[in-house]
Structure 1
Amino acid sequence: MTSGGDGFDVRTYAAGLHAGTVLPAHAHGWGQLIFAASGVMQVITEDAAWTVPPTRAIWAPAGVRHAIVARGEVAMRTLYIDRPRADPLPAQPRVIAVAPLLRELILHILSVGMLTPDRPEHDRLAGLLVDLLLAARTEDLALPLPRDPRALRLAEAWRESPADARDLAEAARAAGASLRTLQRLFPRETGLTLEAWRQKARLVHAVVRLSAGASVTEAALDCGYQSQAAFSEAFVRQFGVSPGRFKR
Structure 2
Amino acid sequence: MITNLARGLAALSLALVPLATTTPAAHARAAEPTVLPIGVAVSALPVGAESRDGYTRTAFKHWNSGANPSDGCNTRNEVLIAEAVTAPAVGAKCALSGGSWWSYYDEQTVTAAGSLDIDHMVPLAEAWDSGASNWDTKRREAYANDLGQASSLVAVTARTNRSKADQDPAEWLPPAAGALCRYASEWTATKLRWGLTVDTFEQDRLLDLAAGCGGTTVTYTPAP
How does the TM-score come out when normalised to structure 1?
A: 0.23
Larger of the two Rg values belongs to structure: 1
Pick the structure with more strand per residue.
1
Larger helix proportion of the pair? 2
TM-score, with structure 2 as normaliser = 0.24
Query: Relative contact order: is structure 1 or structure 2 higher (C-alpha 8 Å, sep ≥ 6)?
Result: 2
